[in-house]
């Protein structure tokens, strides 16, 4: 007796890198029991529910390695602007006026709805009021890694770095028994966090075994400012303080020289690559192929919907692949199998969750995504993994499971309060539109 049997035309397990035809995934108590031929599965197991996906590829749930979920409420609020102008003149002033626990709760609910419908089962978040974000993610049944954010300046959430860390650690303690809610330390960036705060974050990371999630080397200006203030590039400064290591996730990492690449590789860091946001904010092109050649673990992220403007990992997969090919004049760069791994297991490993999710394997949680390749626009299909990256989109996602629980069923969210969410979004749009900061 098992809870669920999912039969699919193709199953991409990711690790090992293989595509199984006409196989099934057996799930019980939220975890994968086995992967076996569909006919054998019907004989071996009696399932409470059988889902037959005749024209689908079943993949691990996608993992968004970097986002600011609640910023979905500011989608399109200030477009076509460079990063620092966008932040300092529009986003930070808007947050000063509107940010609250309710804002984060509603914005994260909106983000969860969008991500789940696009096959994302887990997201790594950096924002404020993490208790509200945790409540939103739990309401949708998503797996979330929530940032214990740190900044030196006050916001409506906290007054200084000590206050940010204290509040975030209290939220972590309150949610410590929830199997889907995880935490990381999230110093915003080297240009907003002091050496003293970084030292405390390193101590907390070592004591609590928490990842450190931090923007780094996103713009040339950031590097120039660091050289003037500290006499070091940001990554060299972080290395000097001991922050770089297997628990460190650097976000963007657009402007890297050979010394930066060596630092990241030698210390075992991971990078969250956000190609759409990098282009939209004109930050530049991250050297992803070089990173992977020297052994740096790279996952994919969307960044926030205010700077993307989609939380769409299918779009990130395709763009990351095309950019790598074009920038390196190499059509073989970042093939589809590598890109799928970056969006699943590599991201899970960066978060310390690689033993729990990120691939389809016995013992792991059944975090799964079914993608239909049966529509005319997906025909013919010679290589289903290539189709995932080059043909299909988030609109092709039909089913999503998190820890064996169905969160999207035939393209429909299994969420009890859609009308309430739509009403909340409308209220926030009115508030943001008519109470713009001066």
Kindly report, residue by residue over 215-234, the tens digit of the pLDDT: 999 999 999 999 999 999 99
392 phi and psi, to 5 degrees? -70, 165
pLDDT of residue 82: 85
Nearest to 133 by CA among 157, 117, 151, 112: 112
Give the three-class secondary structure for 190: coil
Give the three-class secondary structure for 340: helix
Residues 45 and 71 in one domain: no
pLDDT tens per residue, range 106-155: 999 999 999 999 999 999 999 999 999 999 999 999 999 999 999 999 99
Q: What CA–CA distances, in Å, run from 40 to 24, 43, 45, 169, 216? A: 9, 5, 9, 48, 50
Q: Strand runs (DSSP E) across 29-180, as ranges?
A: 31-37, 47-60, 62-67, 120-125, 143-150
Spatial separation of the C-alpha atoms in residues 149 and 184, rounded to whole Å: 9
**In 410-431, which positions are buried (b, 16+ CB within 10 angstroms) versus exposed (e)?**
eeebebeeeeebeebbeebeee
241 pLDDT higher than 60: yes
Residues 312 and 385 in one domain: no
Confidence class of residue 174 from pLDDT cuts 50, 70 and 90? very high
Strand bridging mode 2-12 / 47-60: parallel
- Find the DSSP H helices in 175-242: 195-208, 220-230, 234-240
437 pLDDT higher than 70: no
pLDDT tens per residue, range 199-209: 999 999 999 99
Q: Cis omega (within 30 of 0) on the bond before 16?
A: yes
CB contact set of 116 (below 8 Å; sequence gap of 6+) = 140, 142, 400, 407, 408, 413
Which sign, positive or negative, has the C-alpha torsion 355, 356, 358, 361? Answer: positive
> Has residue 417 been placed in a domain?
no
Arithmetic mean of pLDDT, 410-436: 89
Give the three-class secondary structure for 398: strand
Nearest to 217 by CA among 263, 168, 276, 160: 263
CATH number at residue 288: 3.20.20.140
Two tokens, residue 355: 């033993």
pLDDT of residue 284: 96
> Has residue 327 been placed in a domain?
yes
Residues 375 and 389 in one domain: yes
CATH number at residue 26: 2.30.40.10
> Has residue 416 been placed in a domain?
no
Q: Contact, 57 vs 399, CB < 8 A? A: no
What's the whole-model pTM score?
A: 0.97
> Has residue 357 been placed in a domain?
no
Range of the domain at 150: 62-350
pLDDT of residue 269: 98
pLDDT of residue 149: 98
The angle at the Cα of 115, spanning 375 to 92, to the nearest 5 degrees, equals 140
> Has residue 78 been placed in a domain?
yes
> Has residue 222 been placed in a domain?
yes
Residues 163 and 182 in one domain: yes
Residues 287 and 338 in one domain: yes
Nearest to 437 by CA among 189, 13, 78: 78
Nearest to 17 by CA among 381, 360, 316: 360
Spatial separation of the C-alpha atoms in residues 414 and 123, rounded to whole Å: 18
pLDDT tens per residue, range 274-312: 999 999 999 999 999 999 999 999 999 999 999 999 999
> Has residue 435 been placed in a domain?
no
Residues 90 and 40 in one domain: no
Spatial separation of the C-alpha atoms in residues 11 and 23, rounded to whole Å: 7
pLDDT tens per residue, range 246-283: 999 999 999 999 999 999 999 999 999 999 999 999 99
Q: What CA–CA distances, in Å, run from 295 to 287, 290, 310, 414? A: 13, 9, 29, 40
Average pLDDT, rounded, for the chain: 96
pLDDT of residue 438: 52
Residues 17 and 78 in one domain: no
Measured in whole angstroms, the distance separating CA 236 from the mean position of its chain's CA atoms is 26
Give the three-class secondary structure for 143: strand
Arithmetic mean of pLDDT, 364-374: 98
Residues 276 and 393 in one domain: no
- Total domains present in the chain: 2
Residues 136 and 281 in one domain: yes
> Has residue 171 been placed in a domain?
yes
Residues 299 and 372 in one domain: no
pLDDT of residue 436: 62
Confidence class of residue 37 from pLDDT cuts 50, 70 and 90? very high
Arithmetic mean of pLDDT, 48-75: 98
- With pLDDT > 70 as the criterion, what percentage of the chain qualifies? 99
Based on DSSP, count helices (H) and strands (E) in the chain, helices before strands: 17, 16
Spatial separation of the C-alpha atoms in residues 83 and 281, rounded to whole Å: 6
Residues 46 and 88 in one domain: no
Residues 105 and 221 in one domain: yes
């Amino acid at each position: 007796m098992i809870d669920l049997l999912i039969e699919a035309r193709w199953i991409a397990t990711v690790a090992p890198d293989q595509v199984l035809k006409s196989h099934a995934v057996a799930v019980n108590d939220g975890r994968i029991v086995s992967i076996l031929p569909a006919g054998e599965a019907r004989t071996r197991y009696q399932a409470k529910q059988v889902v037959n996906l005749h024209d689908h590829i079943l993949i691990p749930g996608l993992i968004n390695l970097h986002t600011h979920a609640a910023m979905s409420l500011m989608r399109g609020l200030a477009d076509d602007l460079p990063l620092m102008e966008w932040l300092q003149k529009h986003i930070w002033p808007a947050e000063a006026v509107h940010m609250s626990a309710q804002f984060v709760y509603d914005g994260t609910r909106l983000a969860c709805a969008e991500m789940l419908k696009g096959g994302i089962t887990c997201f790594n978040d950096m924002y404020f009021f993490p208790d509200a974000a945790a409540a939103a993610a739990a309401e949708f049944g998503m797996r979330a890694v929530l940032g214990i954010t740190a900044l030196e300046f006050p916001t409506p959430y906290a007054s200084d770095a000590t206050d940010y860390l204290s509040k975030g650690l209290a939220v972590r303690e309150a949610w410590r028994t929830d199997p889907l809610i995880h935490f990381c330390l999230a110093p915003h960036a080297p240009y907003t966090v002091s050496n003293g705060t970084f030292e405390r974050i390193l101590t907390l990371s070592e004591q609590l075994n928490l990842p450190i999630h931090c923007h780094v080397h996103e713009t040339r200006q950031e590097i120039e400012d660091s050289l003037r203030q500290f006499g070091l590039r940001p990554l060299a400064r972080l290395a000097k303080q001991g922050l770089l290591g297997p628990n460190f996730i650097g976000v963007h990492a657009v402007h890297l020289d050979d010394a930066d690449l060596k630092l990241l590789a030698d210390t075992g860091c991971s990078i969250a690559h956000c190609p759409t946001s990098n282009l939209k904010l004109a930050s530049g092109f991250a050297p992803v192929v070089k990173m992977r050649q020297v052994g740096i673990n790279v996952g994919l992220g969307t960044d926030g919907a205010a700077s993307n403007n989609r939380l769409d990992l299918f779009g990130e997969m395709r763009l990351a692949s095309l950019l790598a090919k074009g920038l390196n004049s190499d059509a073989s760069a970042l093939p589809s199998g590598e890109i799928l791994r970056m969006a699943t297991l590599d991201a899970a490993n960066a978060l310390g969750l690689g033993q729990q999710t990120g691939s389809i394997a016995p013992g792991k949680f059944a975090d799964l995504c079914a993608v239909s390749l049966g529509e005319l626009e997906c025909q013919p299909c010679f290589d289903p993994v290539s189709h995932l990256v080059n043909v299909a989109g988030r609109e092709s996602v039909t089913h999503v499971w998190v820890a064996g629980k169905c969160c999207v069923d035939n393209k429909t969210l299994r969420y009890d309060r859609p009308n309430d969410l739509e009403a909340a979004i409308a209220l926030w749009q009115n508030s943001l539109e008519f109470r713009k900061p001066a």
